[in-house]
């Protein structure tokens, strides 16, 4: 098969490596040392479609993550203007002075992605994002591109409007480059305006 692919000039598409998400807790240690703390929110963006299958997978994800009946807002589904569904998971990451349980949040997001894959929604998976906040009020999302298996930072400037803080994005890229696979093609650094957790 490899010979035929080489002969025809075609290559097999790279399969997403969801386990790359488990490198985020290590990356967050360096980010925290640089003054950026996880916001306690994680999101998965996908095209859910409609019908019974979409409703069933949404219920399955809720049951999987909503293990605390006293906190019904732990898992929220919203739809953006482009028809993508954002699944938002909120998790108490401890006090501002204590270590953040990023690993627990990442495990939940990994489970959501895996559930969506198994339910046949893998072609509609766009990205997973973990927002961070800086001591000066800066905000950015560390975004995992599902189809590429790579990460990039997205930093909208505060105060509304649709402008990016490219200097912050490049700084974050350099901070995480040794921990997670960074997307080398900056044209793939999608602008996720109004993404949950960044607004």
Question: For the chain, which residues make up each domain, given as ranges?
Answer: 17-188
**pLDDT score, position 134:** 93
**pLDDT score, position 1:** 47
Handedness of CA 156, 33, 45, 92 (dihedral sign): negative
| Tokens encoding 134 | 């800086």
**pLDDT score, position 71:** 43
List phi, psi (to 5°) of 180: -125, 155
d(CA 109, CA 43): 7
**pLDDT score, position 133:** 94
Q: Any idea how long the chain is?
A: 199
**pLDDT score, position 180:** 97
Strand runs labelled E in the chain: 36-38, 41-46, 75-79, 85-90, 125-134, 139-145, 150-154
Q: What is the model's pTM?
A: 0.84
Which residues does residue 87 pair with via DSSP β-bridges, in sequence order?
A: 44, 77
Per-residue pLDDT 10s for the chain (199 aa) are 454 455 555 555 455 689 999 999 999 999 999 999 999 899 999 987 666 666 777 777 777 766 645 444 478 888 888 888 899 988 776 655 444 578 888 988 998 899 888 888 888 899 999 999 998 889 999 999 999 999 999 999 987 678 999 999 999 999 999 999 999 999 999 999 989 888 7
């Amino acid at each position: 098969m490899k010979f035929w692919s080489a002969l025809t000039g075609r290559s097999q598409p790279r399969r997403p490596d969801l386990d790359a998400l488990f490198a985020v807790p290590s990356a967050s240690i360096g980010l925290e040392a640089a003054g950026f703390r996880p916001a306690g929110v994680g999101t998965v963006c996908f095209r859910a479609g409609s019908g019974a299958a979409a409703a069933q997978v949404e219920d399955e994800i809720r049951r999987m993550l909503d293990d605390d009946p006293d906190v019904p807002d732990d898992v929220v589904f919203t739809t953006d203007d482009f028809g993508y569904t954002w699944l938002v998971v909120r998790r108490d990451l401890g006090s501002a002075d204590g270590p953040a349980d990023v690993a627990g949040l990442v495990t939940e997001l990994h489970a959501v992605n895996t559930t969506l894959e198994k339910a046949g929604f893998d072609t509609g998976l766009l990205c997973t994002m973990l927002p961070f906040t800086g001591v000066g009020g800066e905000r950015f999302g560390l975004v995992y591109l599902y189809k590429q298996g790579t990460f990039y930072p997205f930093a909208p400037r505060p105060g509304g409007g649709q402008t990016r803080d490219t200097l912050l994005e490049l700084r974050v890229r350099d901070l995480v480059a040794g921990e997670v696979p960074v997307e080398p093609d900056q044209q793939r650094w999608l602008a996720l305006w109004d993404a949950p957790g960044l607004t």
